[in-house]
Structure 1
Amino acid sequence: MRRRTVVSAGVPLAVYEQGNPAGPTVLLVHGYPDTHWVWDDVAAALAADGHHVVRYDVRGAGASGAAKGVRGYRLPQLADDLFAVADAVSPHRAVHLAAHDWGSIQAWEAVTDPRAAGRIASYTSLSGPCLDHVGHWARRRLARPTPRHLGQLLTQAAHSWYIGVFHLPLLAPAVWRLGLAARWGYVLASTEGVIPRTSHPQPTLATDAVHGIALYRANMLPHLLRPRQRPTAVPVQLITLVRDRYVSPALGDDLDRWVPHLWRRTLTAGHWSALLEKGPTVAQMIKEIAAHADGAPASPALERAAVSSRERAAGPRRPQRPRLRWGRGRGPGLERAAFAGKLAVVTGGGSGIGRATALAFAEHGAAVVVCDLDLATAERTVELARLLGAPAAHAHRVDVADSAAVDTFAREVAAAHGVPDIVVNNAGVGHGGTFLQTTEKEWQHILEVNLGGVVHGCRAFATLMVERGEGGHIVNVSSAAAYLPSKVLAAYATSKAAVYMLSDCLRAELAPAGIGVSTICPGLVNTNITRTSTFSGRSADGLDATRDRFAALYARRNFPPEKVAWQILRAVRENRAVVPVTVEARAGRVLSRLSPALTRVAARIDID
């Protein structure tokens, strides 16, 4: 790493460079109470990819000089520092800017400055809004104090409790000097799971933290109480940290008013763990926006992030397809763009619940990838999804019982369209027969498809979701048979009960990664599954007759797959753990809990 000194308004700034000097320049700005070291992992990943990576200790931190008095920490002066560094390290080419916490706040000052044109090619912001934008954000909510707006204001006020403390004389400096600095590593480890390292917290932390208090005193009240108009034409990537204890996601709601070129991303991380534990993921996001700003096509993930921002700016729209409503004309309570910018993968999407689910996601703004053993039916689903306005729809032929095929499918989806946000493991087959009637081959087939298909889908896609770090949701379609035993559904009920338990186990495992898992338990749903189900111990003529009887029963029940699809969308939206869909499924779940003995008695009934 190369070091130089840049002087801005008489204050020496320690600047550090690494990577390829001829590559695109990425300028990283740290926050409070950090130094350039907080970017170590991000910088290493960017440098390894051929970027010219530049970091500097902001005034008052690390090896840089400190300003005299509070006035020296005002945002216009901090913006001057940033431009001075950019001019020194990349005088003839615009820099790509990324900043965190107070680094992001001062970077917003530079990005919304007229000098940004031609000097800043792109901006990635983490956990630090423009203070003027926040001032306007608060004013609009106070002008229209709806419960939602008041809730947002109160939430952010609770997140920002420390700002008031920093304005008290003597107290905040004393806290840092008398113990907080020495315990800072423990605080980050206990609150965010950050593993202490030799470079963080930095040895100058106590002094840096005391100097940095001036940032709050010089800027907070003036900009929040008298906000300026601060638009920008710079392409901006906003990374919202799901577990941020200090900056609430609502602060970015109005950003479209100021930033016409906006991409919204999320990262399942805390305020500091985003950089200290998920640096390579942040680096990948920075690389994507930088490459796109330099003329490369947008990555699939970045393209979906742009869609999300456009839909958010357009505002919510209600669904217009009355045939997908239920219950005395009541809709599902989801806005038209509920899944805008999302990518949903649906297995067994060629018919029935799978097709209805893919179409419901498409109608609500998601791009969809559908797979089925019958490619023609999957392609027909894709045609319908496009007619409903899906931003993208693609079909694949996949045998979910083949683990290698599912792994290949997941890699192809990620390479062509990006890592999916939602995966619905729906593919399955029906089977009837007692335990003694069911052959070993039939057992193997049922378990390979109904259980193995879910296992393969969860493993292949959850691995990608965890690596990406942006969260997601997995839906596993089980059945009411999972908790309602029947002697004539031995293999089928066993496979669905295993899916039920797998989902609960996986939900616990993936929760720290921000990935939800839902189990959907339909009852009698009018799909073509009865026409393709197998039955043990039946002759050819007897098999057709049995299928006809069950098809007639399901037709009389007449519960459409579209209603299951809506429940799946709501389960994803609300992160529900278990969703029994039909009346009989809900009643059966209650009965299985209240009186397991009664369900065992009912299991003896011959329903064939």
Structure 2
Amino acid sequence: MIRRRTVDSAGLPLAVFEQGDPAHPTVILVHGYPDTHVVWDDIAEDLAVDHHVVRYDVRGAGESGVPANRDGYRLERLGADLFAVADAVSPDAPVHVVAHDWGSVQSWEAVTEPGAEQRLASYTTMSGPCLDHLGFWMRKRFRRPTPRHLRQLLVQGAHSWYITAFHLPLLAPATWKLWLAKSWPRVLRDLEAVNPRPGHPQATLKQDAVRGIELYRANMRPTIRSPRERYTEVPVQLLTLSRDHYVNEFLSEGLEHWAPRLTRRTVNGTHWSALLEHGPVVAAHVRSFIGSVAAGSEPEATGELVVITGAGSGIGRATALAFAAEGARVVVCDLDLESAVRTAELCSLSGGTGYAYQLDVSDGAAFDAFAQQIAAEHGVPDVLVNNAGIGHSGTFLQTTEKEWQRVLDVNLWGVIHGCRAFGTLMAERGHGGHIVNLASAAAYLPSKALAAYATSKAAVRMLSDCLRAELASSGVGVSAICPGLINTNITRTSTFSATTADEQAAKQARAAKLYARRNFPPEKVATEILKAVRTGKAVVPVTAEAKGAYFLSRFAPGLLRLAARLNVT
């Protein structure tokens, strides 16, 4: 049952909504723009089982009062609102705060007030940085304009285009009044994978959105131009939304400087779907964090869970380290357990956590058992990278049945086993995820000398497209990566049809020398894999030759068929 009250904040009435037993720990949920308290319905209902849950419409939104002028939307007034609500609903005990979007931006103002740790027991933030921290983040990148820093500024600037629009006279209010408010349900559905529901979007959306523009105009430029040093001793949990269209993950780089008691976690969702479609996931993270804080222990950082096959070396190892550098928990498996153990150790040294397992991906029963073991010990993964593969060269007539079987067992059936075992778990969980399948430029670049290998990789690419369509409704993305000539040890382990042992060794050495001369590192492939997971891109050619062949396969396939007659290994 939801109970309503009004809290006075320096003369402005705030509509406050409570549910759950007031004797339980109090959690205050602060919504963003252009929402009201109803955006928290799912999460509030979940947490109310064992918490006193409090929501309020921020000033200018929903049933709360409207400031008389722009000054009434300044951050210091918004921060004071949070303390006013906390004092009213929990005068004798600190409260836990969970905030999203502009709710997070304004809650940072309260969290970073001197002595805030006396009233705020913990803070969970999503998709809303502290504007002061953002100001220093931008200064650092302008002062050190490295390619990476410049790229971050350009990318975030492109994602924040609407902030500039909000500062233009008349344009933003007119857009909301004339079109956007009416179209907002469709925007959420098409761009955010959010299905409209009773009560959301709220009936007051148009007026809430128009008034809320003042949040941007009152705070963005003044704060970012003259940022204040804002530290906090409050335990902070940062929930990064992996598919956020507005707030990029790299905006939180260096946050530990301002919030030393920081825990990072990742939710596989878009800006709004995290609240409206994946509420139980967010509620579970909040409950776990609050429990750890209440027990007096620092919560263990648990990033997204990533499973990578064939991760003992090459692209698999590079990908594991790339995810680990982002704080992920990485499960690495390989037929060679010793190499998998080494990769896991490197993951733990790179900022994440690594776990090593031995697995023969061609064994379907073993793969199913492995998936169940991982789910029991670590949970259902957020990302699966089917990387394990082997090389083989030979024309169709040269390649024996046994050689065909070996190539297909690993390169195709290994991917099928992984997609089936973990894809089923992801779909049943209902929280989304992403599957990455390593194909090859050979998937669309025919060669008479790569009959079995090219066939296996072409099948992986088509499998990825079919699976992508099937799992779309479950929020699980699928990408096929087509690397090209990458400097890994696959050439040293590749086999060749119709050759003696000495001839095979000589061909392996020549192939290894060619790939080494090309010298395209697996780390660059890993970067493209991470991009595919974040963007959901379906097919990703990596090297220049892979991209060129992909272009020709679409616009000049006949030319590739002629080239396939060449005896090129």
Post-superposition offset of 1:65: 3.3
Partner of 2:121: 121
When residues 566 and 139 of structure 1 are mapped into structure 2, their CA distance, relative to the original with a 3 A threshold, is closer
In the alignment, residue 17 of structure 1 is paired with which amino acid?
E
Contact 1:382/1:394, CA 8 A, preserved across alignment: yes
Give, in whole Å, the separation in 1 of the partners of 2:122 and 2:378.
23
Partner of 2:345: 386
For 1:368-387, list aligned pairs within 5 A: 368-373=330-335, 377-383=336-342, 386=345
Contact 2:525/2:542, CA 8 A, preserved across alignment: no
Cα distance per residue 1:519-562 (max 9 Å; x no partner): 345699443344xx8x7xxxxxxx9x734431332124334799
Give, in whole Å, the separation in 2 of the partners of 1:363 and 1:175.
42
Within the candidate set 384, 388, 410, 1:449 is matched to: 410
Partner of 1:311: none
When residues 580 and 243 of structure 1 are mapped into structure 2, their CA distance, relative to the original with a 3 A threshold, is closer
For 1:119-268, list aligned pairs within 5 A: 119-141=119-141, 148-149=149-150, 151=154, 154-155=157-158, 158-165=161-168, 168=169, 176=176, 180-241=180-241, 244=244, 246-247=246-247, 249=249, 251-267=251-267
1:595 aligns with 2:552: no
* Secondary structure at 1:121 match in 2: strand
* Secondary structure at 1:128 match in 2: coil
Q: TM-score, normalised by structure 2?
A: 0.78
Contact 1:370/1:395, CA 8 A, preserved across alignment: yes
The range that moved more, 126-135 or 571-580, is 571-580
For 1:70-469, list aligned pairs within 5 A: 70-141=70-141, 148-149=149-150, 151=154, 154-155=157-158, 158-165=161-168, 168=169, 176=176, 180-241=180-241, 244=244, 246-247=246-247, 249=249, 251-267=251-267, 269-295=269-295, 303-305=301-303, 345-349=307-311, 353=314, 368-373=330-335, 377-383=336-342, 386=345, 389=349, 392-417=353-378, 419=381, 421=383, 423-428=385-390, 438-439=400-401, 446-462=407-423
* Secondary structure at 1:527 match in 2: helix
Post-superposition offset of 1:105: 1.8
Task: Note the aligned Cα RMSD (angstroms).
Answer: 4.5
The range that moved more, 428-437 or 241-250, is 428-437
In the alignment, residue 88 of structure 1 is paired with which amino acid?
A
Contact 2:309/2:334, CA 8 A, preserved across alignment: yes
Contact 2:332/2:344, CA 8 A, preserved across alignment: no
Partner of 1:41: 42
Within the candidate set 419, 430, 436, 1:474 is matched to: 436
In the alignment, residue 13 of structure 2 is paired with which amino acid?
P
When residues 595 and 115 of structure 1 are mapped into structure 2, their CA distance, relative to the original with a 3 A threshold, is same
Contact 1:240/1:267, CA 8 A, preserved across alignment: yes
Post-superposition offset of 1:4: 3.3
In the alignment, residue 47 of structure 2 is paired with which amino acid?
L
Cα distance per residue 1:374-419 (max 9 Å; x no partner): xxx3134414653784654433233323434323323433443452
Post-superposition offset of 1:346: 3.6
Q: Percent identity?
A: 47
In the alignment, residue 480 of structure 2 is paired with which amino acid?
V
The range that moved more, 105-114 or 356-365, is 356-365
Post-superposition offset of 1:473: 6.2
When residues 484 and 15 of structure 1 are mapped into structure 2, their CA distance, relative to the original with a 3 A threshold, is same
Contact 1:426/1:477, CA 8 A, preserved across alignment: no
Cα distance per residue 1:119-162 (max 9 Å; x no partner): 22222222322233334344445555667446367536624123
Post-superposition offset of 1:584: 11
1:25 aligns with 2:26: yes
Cα distance per residue 1:484-528 (max 9 Å; x no partner): 4448x6555433331243345556777975664313456994433
Contact 1:372/1:397, CA 8 A, preserved across alignment: yes
Post-superposition offset of 1:428: 4.6
When residues 108 and 31 of structure 1 are mapped into structure 2, their CA distance, relative to the original with a 3 A threshold, is same
Give, in whole Å, the separation in 1 of the partners of 2:309 and 2:273.
34
When residues 259 and 484 of structure 1 are mapped into structure 2, their CA distance, relative to the original with a 3 A threshold, is same
Q: TM-score, normalised by structure 1?
A: 0.73
In the alignment, residue 551 of structure 1 is paired with which amino acid?
A
Partner of 1:496: 457
Within the candidate set 527, 536, 558, 2:492 is matched to: 527
The runs of 5 or more residues in structure 2 that have no matched partner are: none
Contact 1:105/1:128, CA 8 A, preserved across alignment: yes
Contact 1:358/1:381, CA 8 A, preserved across alignment: no
Partner of 1:328: none
In the alignment, residue 33 of structure 2 is paired with which amino acid?
Y
Post-superposition offset of 1:40: 1.4
Contact 2:485/2:520, CA 8 A, preserved across alignment: no
When residues 17 and 360 of structure 1 are mapped into structure 2, their CA distance, relative to the original with a 3 A threshold, is closer
Give, in whole Å, the separation in 2 of the partners of 1:417 and 1:96.
27
When residues 144 and 40 of structure 1 are mapped into structure 2, their CA distance, relative to the original with a 3 A threshold, is same
Give, in whole Å, the separation in 1 of the partners of 2:354 and 2:135.
41
Give, in whole Å, the separation in 1 of the partners of 2:182 and 2:545.
59
Post-superposition offset of 1:29: 0.6
* Secondary structure at 2:200 match in 1: coil
Cα distance per residue 1:409-444 (max 9 Å; x no partner): 2343344345264624314585968569855x8766
Partner of 1:569: 526
